[in-house]
Amino acid sequence: MNPEQIRLFEQNGYLLIPDFNPRDQIEIVTNRFESLFRGEFETGLQPDEWNWREGVSPPDLTRQICNGWKSDTAIAKLVTNEKVGEICALLMNWPGARINQDNVIWKPGGSKPLGFHQDDSYQNWIEPSSMISCWMALDDTRKHGGTIEYARGSHRWPVQTKTFTFHGPSDYHEGLKYSANQLGIDTYTIDQLEVKKGDVVFHHGRIWHGSEANQLDIPRRSVVSHCMSSEAQFHPENKSPIYNRYKKFDSLLMDESFFPITYSRKGYRSPFLDEI
């Protein structure tokens, strides 16, 4: 990381780093997609969220799994990479980084969009309630192929508490337009990224982002490592209906088994990660 990269992240709210993940690792991960979405889990554990199931869910919806790292060691190696944690901590000025959750996303040709949102709108169950994410391309991406889009600089807008349809909305920019209107912002720029497989994009938890329908006949797959501060704790009152399952009765501390520390400036990393 050099000062120019940090400046770009601060200015735009996202930072592209080309050729980050090796091609052989990507191939192993993409080869797991079909079995994962069929419900065949290498580790024997179901992911925390599984929003698309073969033979059950509409074929034109984007397929998403959250916390695939618990179900598959190839996903785990990608999302818990120490370097990812280090860059997240550096860009957010945190003492370290830990996994909040991951996403495994598969947009086959013809699939519907994912609605624009700010990741931090969903983070009121943690303190500090902010995230940074490493979005990892597993395919080359193109305009009209459902690539990731960012509203440049919108990480400086406040967190929107109203939420909008995420899977297959009729207007995937609805939330962004609503917020801009509330804030009196007339113009903004949307960057539709055309990246290569292996490239990654670090994005701020407050940047507005989403992706268009995939109008091409090639898939667009990605894995996202969503990170929070290594010192994040559960919020004393607000709850996540899914992730507060992992909160102990008498403590706000997060257990590393479920929210592993991938990097810390002190040199600590959850030891089990290097045994995966």
Ligand X SMILES: O=C(O)CCC(=O)C(=O)O
Residues that bind ligand X (CB under 6 A): 103, 105, 114, 119, 133, 135, 148, 209, 211, 222, 224
Closest approach of ligand X to the CB of residue 224, in Å: 4
Q: Do 165 and 116 form a contact (C-beta atoms < 8 A)?
A: no
Minimum CB distance to ligand X smaller for 100 or for 230: 100
Nearest-10 Cα torsion for 9, 14, 18, 23: 140
Minimum CB distance to ligand X smaller for 130 or for 222: 222
Closest approach of ligand X to the CB of residue 3, in Å: 26
> Which of 181, 183, 204 has its CA nearest to residue 121?
204
Nearest-10 Cα torsion for 122, 188, 136, 80: -40
If residue 90 lies in a helix (H) or strand (E), which one and from where to where? Answer: helix 82-92
Minimum CB distance to ligand X smaller for 67 or for 222: 222
Q: Select the residue whose beta carbon is closest to ligand X and give its number.
A: 211
Closest approach of ligand X to the CB of residue 200, in Å: 11
> Which of 108, 111, 107, 133 has its CA nearest to residue 120?
133
Minimum CB distance to ligand X smaller for 206 or for 269: 206
Report residue 68 as tokens.
């695939």
What CA–CA distance (Å, rounded) separates 203 from 4?
16
Minimum CB distance to ligand X smaller for 211 or for 264: 211
Closest approach of ligand X to the CB of residue 267, in Å: 28
Query: Coil, strand or helix: which one is 105?
Result: strand
Minimum CB distance to ligand X smaller for 208 or for 234: 208
Closest approach of ligand X to the CB of residue 84, in Å: 13
Closest approach of ligand X to the CB of residue 62, in Å: 7
DSSP notation for 19-53: S-S-HHHHHHHHTTHHHHHHT--TTS---SEE---
